């Protein structure tokens, strides 16, 4: 599989939904496979909250977050399709973000970075595609925050792709998730080592607030049933049951997962992305969800998971119901995967929907 990693630099201003301007800015992206002569076999993959442009292949012996789906002879077959995945504006893996330098100064944005929205993210991606002379995509696909991007593309740029495939997402972030995002953000901000965003970006101190935020987020990624099956009430063999800080296996895993996350992600970037998710509403600027969905011109596929404890299946069914209500049932297919794993099902249980996804692309 032909895999490349690139960064494109743009000097024209990016006008944001807030009224702010980002100028200049970079977009980091990976490509997989080859673009055909007609340049019409391109699939844009949109990543989730803590994902990156590295959606497949292997980089430094670490597999991409969707390697089970993207690759030669897989559901998204790179023998047939040219796959591009960008790192969204505001994220921590090469695109312009709060930790980037303010041109032409030698200081980073930090909290002076403007709030970015899902709409801003896809606007930047559209500009990148234009720069690559890719006028129409074969498909756009993404899960969770990537699903938000996919849905927004279908509304704001309805002719950019022939097919829009959204997994494990919602049409508007619920107060339930906004509350969790608030708690995660407060954990980061209240950490004294965070120093109001002025921590050393090169030699990052230990940020327990970021670790705690990851722990909180993990509660949505898998269900109570999955947690029971994976960890049970097993206790760490080397820890004493009557030691105050002795740990159950689930506690040890949270420590490990949180510490590992601190080594690869940035707290300022997480704050900005959580904000983008919290304010996301597909009907923003329209009279209603139904009014927004009237913009859809090409086929929309919705894939939910019955055990998703973050963006519940009924939230995606609401989109299908709204599409039916406006007479656009022929433009929307809904498929619910039976699963008890949790929100991470779209990343972990790929075998349960890979054939369905493959058939969508071949149809």
**67 counts as catalytic:** no
Same-domain status, 249 and 288: no
Same-domain status, 12 and 121: yes
**343 counts as catalytic:** yes
Same-domain status, 313 and 251: no
Residue position matching structure tokens 């709060």: 98
For position 61, what pLDDT does the model report?
58
The whole-model pTM stands at: 0.97
Task: Name the token pair of 56.
Answer: 């497949």
Q: Is the CB of residue 58 less than 8 Å from the CB of residue 85? A: no
Same-domain status, 209 and 324: no
Same-domain status, 102 and 74: yes
Radius of gyration for the alpha carbons in the chain, expressed in angstroms and rounded: 20
Same-domain status, 261 and 327: no
Which portions of the chain are predicted below pLDDT 50? Answer: none
For position 59, what pLDDT does the model report?
66
Pick from 113, 127, 148, 57: which is nearest to 270 by CA? 113
Same-domain status, 145 and 263: no
Number of structural domains (the chain) is 2
End residue of a domain, out of 229, 258, 276: 276
Tell whether the torsion through CA atoms of 340, 344, 345 and 348 is positive or negative.
negative
What are the tens digits of pLDDT across the range 66-91? Answer: 999 999 999 999 999 999 999 999 99
Choosing from 120, 266, 308, 344, the catalytic residue is: 308
Choosing from 52, 91, 108, 144, the catalytic residue is: 144
What are the tens digits of pLDDT across the range 276-297? Answer: 999 999 999 999 999 999 999 9
Same-domain status, 304 and 270: no
User: How many beta carbons lie within 10 A of that of residue 112, not counting itself?
Assistant: 10
Pick from 110, 143, 144: which is nearest to 269 by CA? 110
**9 counts as catalytic:** no
Choosing from 191, 343, 344, 345, the catalytic residue is: 343
Same-domain status, 61 and 150: yes
Same-domain status, 161 and 202: no
Same-domain status, 243 and 325: no
End residue of a domain, out of 248, 276, 304: 276
């Amino acid at each position: 599989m032909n895999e490349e990693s690139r960064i494109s630099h743009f000097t024209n201003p990016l006008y944001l939904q807030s009224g702010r301007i980002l100028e200049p800015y970079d977009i980091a992206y990976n490509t997989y496979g080859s673009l055909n002569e007609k340049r019409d076999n391109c699939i844009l993959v949109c990543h989730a909250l803590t994902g990156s442009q590295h959606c497949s292949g292997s980089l430094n012996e670490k597999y991409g977050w969707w390697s089970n789906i993207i690759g030669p002879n897989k559901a998204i077959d790179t023998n047939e399709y040219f796959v591009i995945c960008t790192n969204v504006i505001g994220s921590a893996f090469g695109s312009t973000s709060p930790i980037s330098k303010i041109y032409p100064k030698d200081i980073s944005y930090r909290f002076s970075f403007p709030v970015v929205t899902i709409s801003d993210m896809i606007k930047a991606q559209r500009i990148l595609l234009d720069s690559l002379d890719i006028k129409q995509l074969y498909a756009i696909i993404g899960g969770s925050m990537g699903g938000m991007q996919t849905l927004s593309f279908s509304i704001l740029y309805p002719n950019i792709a022939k097919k829009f495939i959204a997994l494990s997402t919602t049409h508007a972030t619920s107060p339930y998730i906004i509350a969790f995002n608030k708690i995660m953000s407060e954990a980061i901000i209240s950490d004294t080592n965070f120093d109001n965003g002025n921590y050393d970006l090169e030699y990052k101190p230990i940020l327990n607030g970021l670790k705690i935020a990851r722990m909180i987020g993990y509660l949505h990624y898998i269900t109570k049933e999955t947690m029971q099956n994976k960890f049970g009430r097993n206790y760490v063999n080397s820890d004493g049951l009557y030691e105050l800080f002795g740990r159950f296996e689930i506690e040890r895993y949270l420590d490990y997962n949180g510490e590992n996350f601190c080594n690869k992600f940035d707290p300022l970037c997480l704050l900005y992305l959580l904000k983008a998710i919290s304010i996301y509403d597909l009907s923003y600027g329209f009279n209603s969800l139904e009014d927004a969905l009237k913009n859809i011109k090409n086929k929309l596929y919705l894939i939910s998971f019955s055990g998703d404890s973050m963006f519940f299946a009924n939230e995606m069914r609401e989109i299908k119901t709204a599409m039916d209500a406006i007479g656009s049932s022929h433009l929307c297919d809904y498929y619910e995967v039976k699963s008890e794993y949790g929100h991470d099902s779209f990343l972990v249980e790929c075998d349960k929907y890979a054939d369905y996804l493959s058939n969508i692309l071949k149809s």
